[in-house]
Structure 1
C-alpha cells in the first residue's frame, strides 16, 4: 500500500462523503426532473444537478472550496474533499512510493499497477490544483481509475508547488519525471516507447508543456491526455467571464493561482507557461477534455484547434454539463467515470499503435 496517497477522512469529510454517495444514487427520474431546472450556458448546455450541488457546496460548506484558508490549510482540505468525492478501489498489485532524482532534489512519486499480469505501458500523471494545491493523495482515485481503464502503469508525480517554488520549478520537475519514467520503464517490464503523459488543469498544462519540451528526446510521449488544461495565461476568454463564480473554480482563484505561480507577467507568453504559444507541429496525438461550465473551457478548445492546425491528431471531448474538477468526482458522477474510461481507452489505443 502507498503511504503517501492514503488520506484519513475527518469526521466532517466522512459525513460529506455519505451525503455525496446519496447524491450519486439519485434515481434517474429525479435527476431528469432536477436537470430541467438547472442553469443553461450561452451554448445551450445544461448544468448537471450533481455539479450544481458541488458548486453550491464550494460557496457555503467549509472545506469544499478549491482554496479554503491558508495555503497549507487548503492543501489539506483539497486532499480531504477530493477523497470524499472519489471512487474507492481495492488495493493494487503495485503501489510503489519512490523518489525521482533531479538537479533540484528528489521528486516524490507513486507508481501504480493494477495486477501482477503486467501492464500495457506507462502514463506519467501530473495532478491539478493551480500549481499551488493538489497532490498524489488528492488525485489517488483518479489515477487508479485511469490505470484500470488503460491497463497501463501510472506514475503520479508530486512536483514542487508555489508559492514556495514558483515557475519554472513545476516544469523542471515535470520534465525530469517524464525522462526518469522513460529511463526506468524497462526495469518495470515496460516498453519506454509506450509512455503517455496526462494531467488535469495545472497538470494538463504541465503535460502539454512536457510534450513540447521533450520533442527532441530520443523517446517522445506516445500520447498526451489533457483534462481541462490551463493553456494560455496571456488571454482571458469568454468562458472565464461566464463561469467566474458559483461553479467550484472561480475567476478570483484563477487570478490568485496565476499570480502565485508566475509572479512576473513578462513570463505569460513563455511556452513553458502558456503552451498555446509554443511550437505545436510534430507533437504526440492529444485527447483533450473540457467541461461545459468550466472557466477554462475556451482555452482548452482553442488549444485543441491550434494543435489541429499544426497537424496534430486531436480528439476533443466536451463534457457539456460538467464543472472544473469533475473527473475527481467519480463517486457522484457517471459522466466523470465515463470520461476517465475514454481517456484510458485513448491511452491504450496509442500504446497499442507503437510498433
Structure 2
C-alpha cells in the first residue's frame, strides 16, 4: 500500500470528513484498493467504492450499524458522526428556526425558503434515523439542497423520538405539523394546493403514514417524496438477507428499531400506523419513491411502489443501484451522493408540477 493510502487509512479510521472528501476525488480503482487494504470482507461488486472505504474504516474500529441498545449513546454517536463530515452549509436565502404550537404540543422546526419574496410550494420534511435518532441538524444539508433544487420551501420537523413516545404520539405530532402548515399557508407564502410531505427512511415512513391518515382531510398532502422508506415492519424480503451486514443499516439496527418503536408500545408489526404497506392506498397523492441498490429496505420500497400503482396512485420509482441506505446524508463528502440528491430534488419538482397541472 502506498504512503498516500496509509495516510488516508489513518485519517479514515479517525472518521475525518476531510479525509473522505480527499478520497472522493481519487479514481475508483484507488478507492477499491484502499477498501481491500482496510480488510472490507463483503462482496458488493457495484457498491460505490467510497462507501466501501467508509464502511471498512468503521468495521476496523469495531463499529457496526448506528442504533444500539443504548438510545442516548446512539443519538450522541449519530450526531457526532454527522458533525464529523460537516462542511460549509449550502447557502439558502432564508433559514429560520420556528416553534410550532401544535395541538399535540410545541415542536421545533426549521424553515428553508430559497426565494423569500416569492410564493413557492412547501415540502414538509420528516428526518430519518429509525424513529430513534436524528434531528434538525443531522438533516440540515439535505434540506438545504432539497429547497434549492426542488425550488420549494422546506419545513423540517423536529418530531419527538421513540421510545419516549409511542408511534401514535409521534405520528399525531407529524400530522399536526402538516395541518399547521396548511392553516398557515398564507403567512408562509405557499402556492395554493402545493403542499407535499417528504422524508428519508423512518421519515419516509412517517410521510406516507401521514398521507394515508389525512387522505380525506382538507390538509391532505398533494405529493409525496419517499427516500428509501420503511414500509413494512412485519416482512423480511430478499434485500434484507442480502444486505443485513457490513453497510449503514444492519439487521441489528432493524431489531432495535422494532423493539423501541413497535414492541415497547405493543403495536402489531402489520399495523398501518407503523407499516403503511398494509394501509389504505387508494386516493393517495402522487408519490416519488427512491431506493438504494444496497439496502435492507430496498425491496419494501419497491413493493410499496407497485402496491400504490395497483391502487391507481401516480408513482415515479427510481433506484440508485450503487448506493446504500443513508446516502442523502453523505452529500458533504460524496460527489455522487450530492449529484444524486440534487437530481432527486429537480426531478421530484418536475414530477410534482406535471401531476399538479
Q: TM-score, normalised by structure 2?
A: 0.87
Once residues 192 and 262 of structure 2 are traced to their aligned partners in structure 1, the CA distance between those partners, rounded to angstroms, is 32
Q: 2:123 maps to which residue? A: 123
- Cα 1:274–1:347 shift into 2, 3 Å: same
Q: Which residue of 2 is the match for residue 8 of structure 1?
A: none
Partner residue of 2:193? Answer: 193
Corresponding position of 2:291: 290
Question: Where do 1:216-295 residues align within 5 Å?
Answer: 216-263=216-263, 266-295=267-296
What residue is the counterpart of 1:7 in the other structure? none
Tell me the residue number matched to 2:92.
92
- CA distance in 2 between partners of 1:293 and 1:170 (Å): 28
The residue that corresponds to 1:164 in the other structure is 164
Structure whose residues are more often strand by fraction? 2
- Superposed CA deviations along residues 244-282 of structure 1, whole A, max 9, x for unmatched, are 111021101111011101125652222111100011121
Shift of 1:64: 8.1
Distance apart, 1:350 and its partner CA: 4.8
Paired residue secondary structure (2:193): helix
Cα gap change, 1:108/1:64 in structure 2, threshold over 3 Å: closer, same or farther?
farther
Change (3 A) 1:71 1:191: same
**How far apart, in 1, do the equivalents of 2:338 and 2:41 lie?**
21
3-state SS of 1:196 partner: strand
Deviation readout 1:23-72 (Å, 9 max, x if unpaired): 2212366458889999655xxx6111111122223333478841368322
Answering whether residue 315 of structure 2 is matched by residue 314 of structure 1, we say: yes
**In structure 2, what is the Cα distance between the partners aligned to 1:238 and 1:172?**
32
Task: Name the counterpart of 1:103.
Answer: 103
Q: How large is the RMSD of aligned CA atoms in angstroms?
A: 2.7
Paired residues of 2:244 and 2:251 also in contact (CA < 8 A) = yes
Q: Map 1:42-121 onto structure 2 (within 5 A).
A: 46-61=46-61, 65-67=65-67, 70-86=70-86, 88-118=88-118, 120-121=120-121
Assess, with a 3 A threshold, how the Cα gap between structure 1 residues 174 and 13 changes in structure 2: closer, same or farther: farther
- Single out whichever of 261-270 and 326-335 deviates more from structure 2: 261-270
Change (3 A) 1:265 1:72: closer
Q: Max radius of gyration: which structure?
A: 2
**How far apart in 2 are the matches of 1:193 and 1:38?**
50
Q: Measure how far apart 1:114 and its partner are.
A: 2.2
Paired with 2:55 and 2:125, the residues of 1 have a C-alpha distance of 26
Closer, same or farther: CA 211–12 of 1 in aligned 2, 3 Å: same
Tell me, in whole angstroms, the C-alpha distance in 2 between the residues paired with 1:13 and 1:150.
35
Aligned residues of 2:12 and 2:19 also touching (Cα < 8 A): no
Conserved 8 A contact 1:159-1:174: yes
SS in 1 for 2:96: strand
Unaligned runs of 5+ in 2: 1-10
* Structure 1 pair 40–321 and aligned structure 2 pair: CA distance change class (3 A): farther
In the superposition, relative to structure 1, how do residues 63 and 180 fare at CA in structure 2: closer, same or farther (>3 Å)? farther
Tell me, in whole angstroms, the C-alpha distance in 2 between the residues paired with 1:13 and 1:139.
23
Aligned-partner SS, 2:184 = helix
Q: Using a 3 Å threshold, how does the CA distance of structure 1 residues 312 and 351 change in structure 2: closer, same or farther?
A: closer
Contact 1:195 1:221 in 2 (8 A): yes
| Mapped partners of 1:135, 1:76: distance in 2 | 11
- Contact 2:130–2:257 (CA<8 Å) still a contact in 1? yes
1:144-164 deviation per Cα after TM superposition (whole angstroms, max 9, x unaligned): 110111111100001110111
1:83-128 deviation line (CA, Å, top 9, x unaligned): 4335633443222111222233111111011244435311000000
Q: Which moved more, 1:330-339 or 1:241-250?
A: 330-339
Q: Is the 8 A contact 2:13 2:58 kept in 1?
A: no
Alignment gaps of 5+ in structure 1: 1-10
Q: Closer, same or farther in 2 for the Cα pair 1:322/1:73, shift >3 Å?
A: same
Query: Residue 188 of structure 1: SS of its match in structure 2?
Result: coil
